[in-house]
């Protein structure tokens, strides 16, 4: 970073910045997984002739989807 951009940052600051940007770009996996059901419902609503099948293996089947 110092040679390319004339910045003087610590390795910890660079690591933390990478963590923040990765979480912004990729998002939270739990939140994305929670959206799958709503996504399938929306696809069924707008594309009634398409077949949509969503199989999810839940570790604890007593929990709601």
The two three-digit tokens of residue 34, written as one number: 């929670």
Span between the terminal Cα atoms of the chain, in Å: 45
Mean pLDDT on 7-28:
86
Query: What pLDDT band is residue 65 in, cutting at 50, 70 and 90?
Result: low
Q: Quick check: 10 pLDDT over 80?
A: yes
Distances in Å between the alpha carbon of 61 and those of 19, 33, 57, 65? 33, 16, 8, 9
What pLDDT digit, counting tens, does each position of 20-63 carry? 998 888 777 778 788 888 888 898 888 888 888 888 777 776 76
């Amino acid at each position: 970073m110092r040679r390319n951009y004339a910045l003087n940052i610590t390795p910890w600051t660079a690591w933390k910045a990478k963590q923040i940007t990765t979480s912004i770009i990729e998002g939270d996996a739990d939140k994305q997984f929670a959206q799958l059901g709503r996504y399938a419902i929306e696809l069924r609503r707008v594309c009634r002739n398409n077949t949509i099948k969503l199989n999810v293996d839940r570790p604890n089947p007593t929990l709601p989807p």
